[in-house]
Chain A
Amino acid sequence: MSFEVRLGLQLGEAEVFAEFSSDARLTALVGPSGAGKTSVLNAIAGLLHPREGRVVAAGQVLFDSAQRIDLAPEARRAGYVFQDGRLFPHMSVRANLAYGERLAPASERWITRDEVAGLLDIGDLLDRRTANLSGGEVRRVAIARALLAAPRFLLLDEPTASLDAARAEALLGLIERIRDAMDVPILLVSHSRAEVERLAGQVVEMA
């Protein structure tokens, strides 16, 4: 099972419910703005705490209110690519990449820095300051940083949003390659029908 999610989240006045399970290599989470898609990703990553429910990713129970399981974010090993990149502004690209890599157990790494640099074409960016990167470059570095942390599963939040058509196309090709080559389930939030049809083995609609 790639993902098994059943959760109820209280976000201020609003409540978000999500329930799905998927065996697909890539599962897409779609729905209108404000449906709580990003909140679901945050809950799976351990950044939000559901009132109740159960979250299993890549075979590991991350949260189970009945069994009182609630792993800390650092123990969940999510490869979370945030919509806004969230690169560390006081570090070079190289230091950003090394951040999670250093913390991951060596035996669990499944991709090397050279492989990531080749896959994402970021070899030339390593010594740059994050402030000087373009939107597409930030996205690629953020994905590389997540992959190097040896995640057990990936959470991609609108990875192609605000990229031009050519950049978006390149990134989709890359996600396809990660999906087909790596043994990590991916949960993708997207607004684009075409993107979802092309990538996803299973689609989850949120109302």
Chain B
Amino acid sequence: MSGVLSAAEWAVIGLSLKVSLVAVLASLPLAYALAWLIARRRFPGRMLLDAAVHLPLVLPPVVTGWLLLLAFGRNGPIGHWLQQAFGVSLVFTWLGAALAAAVMALPLMVRAMRLSIEAVDRKLVEAARTLGASPLRAFATITLPLSLPGIAAGAMLGFARSLGEFGATITFAANIEGQTRTLPLAIYTGLQVPGSEGAVARLAIMAIVLSLGALMVSEWLVRRSGGSRAHVL
């Protein structure tokens, strides 16, 4: 297999997987919390929050990347604070690429999770409450397990979206080999260099394989958790 791709190409794929995995795992709790808030709570500003979460879906990714640069750049308020407090800089690092991917994946994750939370019958939560469960326990024993298919589907969708992230990443984290040059950026770079058609084709095929794999795993997870619901406890 190592003969098919060069070491540099494998490194690109490894970096892409790392960036996407960290992006999804780190944003999962936030995505679920946002999904729950939008699905279950009525508060002033809910529409605004919903719109803000969905913004990266419709904004030009370059704009999202630029906004990230303003907030998380060395002179941005959050970036400055991170630098002061932890000595961490996100711009031009793989963590920055993960942040860009997470922001771009968030709307898809929240959407999938929100739908599955809305599908959980509130009457079951009420029943749990009358049986002595606190709101937190009712959430943990009823809402959370019944919305697992949405969490799995959202995570895989977010992972696939992160793998393909380009515009916000190149704007915010730049295109640095070994740091932020993920699969799409490597393909883009290859297209700029005459004579690298072969490398571009190989990376493109890997992108298709990985994305297809993520979608299939997502589908499988949904089916599995749907089919075995009754066995969870």
What residues make up the interface of A, taking CB atoms closer than 8 Å to B?
Answer: 45-47, 72-74, 76-80, 82, 84, 86, 88-92, 95, 99-100, 103-104, 129-131, 145-146, 149
Whose C-beta in chain A lies nearest to the C-beta of B126? Answer: A47
| Chain A residues touching B, majority SS | mixed
B190 interface contact, C-beta 8 A: no
CB distance from B201 to the nearest CB of A (A): 46
Interface residue from A79, A92, A99 paired with B230 (Cβ < 8 Å):
A92
With a CB–CB cut-off of 8 A, which chain A residues contact B121?
86
Give the number of chain B interface residues (Cβ < 8 Å). Answer: 22
Task: Decide if B127 touches A74 in the complex (CB within 8 Å).
Answer: no
What residues make up the interface of B, taking CB atoms closer than 8 Å to A?
Answer: 121, 123-124, 126-134, 137, 141-142, 145-146, 229-233
User: Nearest 3 A-B pairs (CB), nearest first?
Assistant: A100-B131, A103-B132, A129-B230
Interface residue from A73, A104, A131 paired with B129 (Cβ < 8 Å):
A73
CB distance from B231 to the nearest CB of A (A): 8
Task: Decide if A103 touches B145 in the complex (CB within 8 Å).
Answer: no
Most chain B CB neighbours (cut-off 10 Å) among A95, A99, A104? A99
Whose C-beta in chain B lies nearest to the C-beta of A149? Answer: B131
CB distance from A80 to the nearest CB of B (A): 4
Interface residue from A88, A89, A149 paired with B132 (Cβ < 8 Å):
A149
With a CB–CB cut-off of 8 A, which chain A residues contact B123?
82, 84, 86
CB distance from B66 to the nearest CB of A (A): 44
| Given A84-B123, A86-B124: A92 and B131 interface contact (C-beta under 8 Å) | no
